[in-house]
Amino acid sequence: MKACRFHRLPRGEQAMRTIRWGMIGCGDVTEVKSGPGFQKARNSALTAVMRRNGDLAHDYASRHEVPAWYDSAEALVADPRVDAVYVATPPASHKEYTLLAAKAGKPVYVEKPMALNSGECHQMIAACRAADVPLFVAYYRRALPRFRKIKDAVESGVLGEIRFVTVTLYEPVSQDINPERLPWRLIPEIAGGGLFADLACHTLDFLDFVFGPISSAVGTSVNQAGCYRAEDLVSGTFVFERGVVGSGLWCFSAFEKMDRNEIVGTKGRITFSTFGTEPAQVVTKAGAFEVSAETPMHVHQPLIQSIVDELNGEGVCPSSGESAVRTTRVMDALLGDRISARH
C-alpha cells in the first residue's frame, strides 16, 4: 500500500482540513500529555497508533477510541488515512522514524530531545527538506500560556536590558534505581545521555525562544554518584548571539529538589521554574508582581494546534527542526567529552 503525499494548504486558504495523525509509540507521555491533544485540537484527529507490542497498541487504541492500531511503523506510515506522523519513541529511534515518514511525504512531529545528537538532527532536517515536508519538535513550552507570558514580560522592557540568566535544577537519586533494569532515560545509547538530556532541553529551548540562538557554550559533565553510566551532573556557561550570558547547573544526586531559573536585567529580575505551574515572580525597583497562567491538562495541545493550523495555512508553529537542533547542539557542547565519546 503506497502512502499519499501530504500538501500544506496555501496561507489564507478557507477550507480547513482535518489533519489525521498516526502515532508511533504509545508510552506514558502519550496517555495524558500528548495523545488526547491530537483528538481535542481543532481540525485534528488521532487515526492510528503503533507499538511493537501489538497487544499494547490494541489496548491503547481501545482505551483512547483510536480507529486503527499497528505493530509496524511501516504499516502505520503507509496507511492512506494517516496525513501526519507523531514520533513518541525514545530518542534513539527518532531519526529512523522521521526519515521513514519523510520518505512517505508526510509531515513529522517528533518528541524531544530531537535526536541522540546534533548530527542526527541535521540528517532529519535534510531528509524532510528533500521530501518537502515540515518537521516539528515537541518543545511544547513555546506554546504554553504560562511560558508565553514569561516571554512577554521579558520583552516588555520591565526588566530593562537583559544581562544574564541562571539555570539551577537538582534532585535526589531515585530510590527505585536498579542498575540491572535502568529506565531508558538513563541509558545513553537510547536517550542521548542521562536525565540532563531529558530535562535540560526544555529550559534551554525555552531560553532560545526568548533570546534567540546561543552562539557559544562550554560545559563539564561528570558521574559522581555511580548509580549508572550516564552523567549525573552537568555545569556550563553559554552566550546568546544578542549578548546575554547564561550559566547552568544540573545535578541528579543532590539531597532535595530545586527547579529555578532567573533572568536578570538592569531594572529587575524574573524567577520561574521549568517543571512547575506556580506563578513566575517579577521584582523591580518599583515593586513586585506575579506572572501566571493556567496550564492545560494536555500540555502538548497548544503546540499541536499550532502545527495543525500551519498545515492548514493558518499560522506558524514556533517549534521546528531548525530551532530544535540549536538546543541539541548546545547540549552536545555542555556535555563535552562525554557526548564526543558517543559519536
Task: Give the pLDDT confidence of 224-279 residue by residue, as tens digits.
Answer: 999 999 999 999 999 999 999 999 999 999 999 999 999 999 999 999 999 999 99
User: Each residue of 135-164: pLDDT tens digit?
Assistant: 999 999 999 999 999 999 999 999 999 999
Q: Once rounded to an integer, what is the mean pLDDT over residues 329-343?
A: 77
What's the distance, Cα to Cα, between the start and end of the chain in Å? 36
**pLDDT band (50, 70, 90) for residue 337:** confident
Domains 19-140 and 145-295 share a fold: no
Q: Once rounded to an integer, what is the mean pLDDT over residues 214-229?
A: 97
Q: Quick one: fold of 19-140?
A: Rossmann fold (3.40.50)
**pLDDT band (50, 70, 90) for residue 1:** very low
CB 23 within 8 A of CB 86: yes
CB 121 within 8 A of CB 114: yes
Residue type at 6 in one-letter notation: F
Q: Once rounded to an integer, what is the mean pLDDT over residues 110-129?
A: 98
Q: Is the pTM of this model over 0.85?
A: yes
Report angle CA 148, 149, 151 to the nearest 5 degrees: 65
- In which residue are the cell numbers 506563578 written? 279
CATH superfamily of 145-295: Dihydrodipicolinate Reductase; domain 2 (3.30.360.10)
For the chain, the structural domain boundaries read 19-140, 145-295
Q: What is the mean pLDDT of the chain?
A: 95
User: Residues near 167 by Cβ (< 8 Å), separated by ≥ 6?
Assistant: 200, 203, 204, 207, 246, 247, 248, 249, 250, 260, 261
User: What is the predicted pLDDT for the residue at 12?
Assistant: 55
